[in-house]
Amino acid sequence: MTQASPALLEKTALETYVPPAKPSLIGLSRAELAEALGGIGVAASQRKMRAQQLWHWMYFRGVAEFSEMTSISKEMRGQLAEHFTVARPEVVAEQISNDGTRKWLLRLPSGVAGEKAHEVECVYIPETDRGTLCVSSQVGCTLNCSFCHTGTQKLVRNLTAGEIVGQVMVARDRLNDWADRETSNGNRLVTNVVMMGMGEPLYNFDAVRDALLIVSDNEGIGISRRRVTLSTSGVVPNIVRAGEEIGVMLAISLHAVRDELRDELVPLNRKYPLAELLQACRDYPGASNARRITFEYVMLKDVNDSLDDAKLLVKLLKGIPAKINLIPFNPWPGTAYKCSDWDQIEKFSEYIFNAGYSSPVRTPRGRDILAACGQLKSETEKLTAREREALRAMAMTD
Ligand code: SAH
Ligand code: SF4
């Protein structure tokens, strides 16, 4: 699948984010909350305690209004509401797949007057033993992986920490999944988070780090780091940093085992080739047989799905505590790639299984609502105002 000219490694500059006049406190750490309180005149001696109260109401209880924070004095609540909100991204549409997968279209302010608001998607995938939320880190993506639809989107903006945490909070809101609304057996619906939505999380490092530290804090949203996975196309310098500063599970979008092919599928490979990427994985702090690195491998017919590829894959991963996740390619309008035939996926999977790797084939979920990997923001971009309205109406009927 050679292209006439190689795709650009990265797109143009990022859009800038201009915060609203009355900012949301969502996304702030304890220290930042204390600082924000200082900014509205709360005495230094009180800030830490107040920040702790806010933290509990925002991230543990999930309340959306200051007026519900009953342990905080009425006067202070009024003062807070005058300067801040606890708003999350606005849900524009909710779609529910026939397999139970839910996709939310979220609207974010563009920050620039007169400019169209940005939109991102967030997907909830219920399974028997867990509920996984697939979260976006950017509007679009600056990288251009040739098989990924997100990569074809022109507009790119980094999400703020608040917009990333906000996606988890929206899911908890919509699923009625906050601590005090827990089901009687104590089960939560959102048990896992994967940074596998739109965008390259390691190109938005600080916001992703700050957000994931909030998501995994056990006095708040409380999703343990072992249940949070960050997927990267291979931003080598930030891989070890992610291990040190965030400590979540790592997934690598590998997709090819030879540099020549990976340069084409994942153009970032030209900057950080396979040898460097795999070395960063060997150096990933905390990787062990109990905490394996996931290698994602999208199955593209006649491109990367031969048994020779499987053999080379096993060879490359030698010495790395790894598991391999085979992803059937999800087609999108205009792509030249095809998904590998099922029997080829099985042969490939069998080879790596026999070599000692667990190699689940990821069942595509939510295909009917374009919620599967690499399909995010596919159709919504093209919707007419009327169709959009219909989707919005859908979101309101729960
Ligand atoms: N940018 C990050 C995280 C988001 S993509 C990354 O690339 O890792 C999440 C996963 O979906 C990646 O492994 C990506 O390669 C894969 N993916 C992208 N487009 C796909 C498609 N059309 N079909 C199947 N998987 C796809
Ligand atoms: Fe970006 Fe990941 Fe898609 Fe590549 S696969 S274009 S890095 S979102």
For residue 253, which atom of ligand 1 is closest to its CA?
A: 13
| Ligand 1 centroid to residue 128 C-alpha, Å | 24
Ligand-binding site membership of 330 (annotated): yes
Residue 2 lies in a domain: no
Ligand nearest to the CA of 254: 1
pLDDT value for 118: 84
Residues 352, 295 within the same domain: yes
Residues 50, 98 within the same domain: no
Residue 388 lies in a domain: yes
| Ligand 2 centroid to residue 123 C-alpha, Å | 16
Residues 162, 55 within the same domain: no
Q: What is the CATH number of the domain that holds 78?
A: 1.10.150
Residue 126 lies in a domain: yes
Which residue numbers in the chain have pLDDT < 50? Answer: 1-4, 378-398
Where among 83, 117, 147 does a domain terminate? 83
Residue 271 lies in a domain: yes
**Catalytic residue numbers?**
121, 373
| Ligand 2 centroid to residue 3 C-alpha, Å | 18
Residues 187, 96 within the same domain: yes
pLDDT value for 116: 74
For ligand 2, which residues put their CB under 6 angstroms from it? 141, 143-145, 148, 150-151, 199-200, 233, 253
Query: What tens digit of pLDDT does each residue of 255-266 get?
Result: 999 999 999 999
Residues 79, 96 within the same domain: no
Tokens in use for 11?
Answer: 């797109």
Residue 5 lies in a domain: no
Residues 342, 358 within the same domain: yes
pLDDT value for 385: 47
Residues 168, 272 within the same domain: yes
Question: What's the number of domains the chain is made of?
Answer: 2
Residues 216, 304 within the same domain: yes
Where among 83, 105, 121 does a domain terminate? 83
8 A C-beta contact, residue 287 and residue 320: yes
Expressed as residue numbers, the domain containing 338 is 88-394
Q: Is the CB of 147 under 6 A from ligand 1?
A: yes
Residues 220, 368 within the same domain: yes
For residue 148, which atom of ligand 1 is closest to its CA?
A: 19
pLDDT value for 2: 40
8 A C-beta contact, residue 365 and residue 99: yes
pLDDT value for 153: 80
Residues 336, 377 within the same domain: yes
Q: What is the CATH number of the domain that holds 366?
A: 3.20.20.70
Residues 55, 181 within the same domain: no
Ligand-binding site membership of 134 (annotated): no
